[in-house]
Every structure is written in C-alpha cells, then in structure tokens.
C-alpha cells in the first residue's frame, strides 16, 4: 500500500474567496463565464467565492489560467514585513491525481514574477500538470529522495542536490521515485 501525502493544513478559504472575487472583477467576467473558461461548475465557483468548499490544486490552477494570473495570486496570504514558514506549516494544497502536496513558500511580490514552493511527494502516482501561462519557466531542485520531472516526453530522473529548468507552459509532470521525496519548485512568470 502506498503512503498518501496529506496536506498539513487547509488553505484559508477567505484568501481564495477574496482573490477570486478581486481577479474576476479585474477581468470583467461573470461567474458563469469564468466557470465556463475554467471548465468547472458555476456552483463550484460560487461556493469558492463564498469561502466554502475544498478546492484541489487542479481547480485553482484552472481558475488561474482562465483569469490569466499565476496560481499564487489566488492562494497568497496577506504578507507581513517579516514572514517565517516553519517546516510542515504554510498554505498547502493537495493534488487529486497524485501523492503530491505543494506548500507556497513565497508568492511573487509586485514587480517580481516568481513563486517558490516546497513539494512533498510519494511514489506510485504522477502529478500531470497542464501548461501554465505562456512564458512560464520552472526551476526544480531536489532536497530528498528521487523525482522524475519535466515536459511530456522529456522527463529526467533527479536525485538530492540535482537541479533542472524547463518550460512550464507545456504539459509536464512530477513523479516521486522514492519515499519522502521533497523538492523546491520555483515558477518564473514572464
């Protein structure tokens, strides 16, 4: 039996609700139009904007792509002048498809266009990622375990200390090859 990764804490739905409302208004989209563009039910979007529900990473990604904003714009918390995220804490989102949990460590501040995540993953499942916004580049460095990652058909196996970069605006995936695999993922947006 495979150990499934569990998220250490839920994202505060108030962050997501406020961000969705703000970005939907900025884009001038109705609930129906945004739901259609993201490929989700209007009732699901309505629940998210009401700060209820438990969205998956795939739902939030789809909404970000439909809105033309990075994932982190929808999940980032208000930030104080000094921010510390202790190991095992921070806003985490689990995947529906794989033993994969992403914890946002740093969202892109105004003027910068990068987000930093700490990823925990377990073997026997693949996290398939749809293309992100055009121009997105991902940087990955393995901390523990082994991971196979990269664009579809160009995946590379990596071990502790290994680094790779690749286009994130094409279909790509992440697959843990060893238990307790962790890596840092930096998404660079243009």
- Tokens representing 153? 């058909």
- Count CB neighbours of 25 within 10 A: 9
**Cα 130 to Cα 102: distance, rounded to the nearest angstrom:** 15
Q: Does position 81 have pLDDT exceeding 80, yes or no?
A: no
Q: Does position 73 have pLDDT exceeding 90, yes or no?
A: no
Q: Does position 131 have pLDDT exceeding 60, yes or no?
A: yes
Name the maximum alpha-carbon separation found in the chain: 47
- Tokens representing 3? 């150990």
State pTM to two decimals. 0.54
Question: Can you name the residues that pair with 172 across neighbouring β-strands?
Answer: 129, 151
Query: Could you give the residue ranges of the DSSP H alpha helices within the chain?
Result: 13-27, 31-38, 42-49, 57-67, 71-75
What per-residue confidence (pLDDT) applies to 78? 56
């Amino acid at each position: 039996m495979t150990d499934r990764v569990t998220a250490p804490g839920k994202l505060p739905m108030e962050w997501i609700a406020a961000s969705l409302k703000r970005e939907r208004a900025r884009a001038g989209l109705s609930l129906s139009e945004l739901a259609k563009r993201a490929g989700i039910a209007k009732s699901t979007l309505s629940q998210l904007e009401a700060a209820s529900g438990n969205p998956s990473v795939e739902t939030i990604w789809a909404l970000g792509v439909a809105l033309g904003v990075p994932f982190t714009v929808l999940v980032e918390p208000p930030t104080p002048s000094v921010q510390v995220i202790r190991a095992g804490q921070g806003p985490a989102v689990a995947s529906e498809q794989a033993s994969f949990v992403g914890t946002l460590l740093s969202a892109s501040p105004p003027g910068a266009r990068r987000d930093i995540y700490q990823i925990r993953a377990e073997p026997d499942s693949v996290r398939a990622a749809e293309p992100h916004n055009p121009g997105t580049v991902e940087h990955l460095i393995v901390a523990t375990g082994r991971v196979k990652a990269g664009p579809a058909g160009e995946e590379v196996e990596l071990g502790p200390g290994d680094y790779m970069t690749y286009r994130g605006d094409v279909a790509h995936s992440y697959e843990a090859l060893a238990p307790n695999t962790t890596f840092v993922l930096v998404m660079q947006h243009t």
